[in-house]
Amino acid sequence: MGEALYWVLRLASLQIDEDEGGDMVCSYLIILGVILLVLYVALYLYNKVVVGKRVKQHPCKFCGHMVNAVSHCCAAPVEEKFMAAKCSKCGKQTRTVCATCKRDLY
Ligand SMILES: [Zn+2]
Ligand SMILES: [Zn+2]
C-alpha cells in the first residue's frame, strides 16, 4: 500500500514537471518566434529604406575598383533581385553593367 502511494505521488509529480516543462518550451518558442519576426521586419525595413535609396556599388574587374551598376538597356539604375536585375527605367529584366566602361559586372 505504501509503495503504491509512492508511485502515485511520483507519477503525479512527473506529470506536473512535464506540464511545467511544456509551458516553458511553449513560451520559449513564442518568444523566439517574436524575436525572429521583429528581426525579419527590421531587416525588411532596413533593406527598403537604406539599401533601396543607395546606389549599389560593385567591383568592376575591368576598372579595378568599385563602380556604380547600371542596366545594359538604358544605363539607368537597376533594381536588384535575387539572381536577376530589373531596369528601373523600362522595367525589363536586364544585365548589370559597369557605369564607367559599360562592360558586364558578372
Ligand atoms: Zn568598369
Ligand atoms: Zn531599360
Ligand nearest to C-alpha 79: 2
Q: What pLDDT score does 103 carry?
A: 93
Distance 13 CA to ligand 2 centre (A): 70
Distance 49 CA to ligand 1 centre (A): 27
**What is the per-residue pLDDT across 47-84, written as a single tens digit (0 to 9) for each?**
777 665 566 788 999 999 999 889 999 999 888 777 77
Distance 85 CA to ligand 2 centre (A): 10
Ligand nearest to C-alpha 72: 2
Question: In the beta sheet, which residues pair with residue 66?
Answer: 59
Q: Over pLDDT 90: what percentage of the chain? A: 43
Q: What pLDDT score does 5 carry?
A: 75
The pLDDT of residue 14 is above 70: no
Predicted TM-score of the model (pTM): 0.47
By DSSP bridging, strand 78-81 and strand 84-87 are: antiparallel
Ligand nearest to C-alpha 103: 1
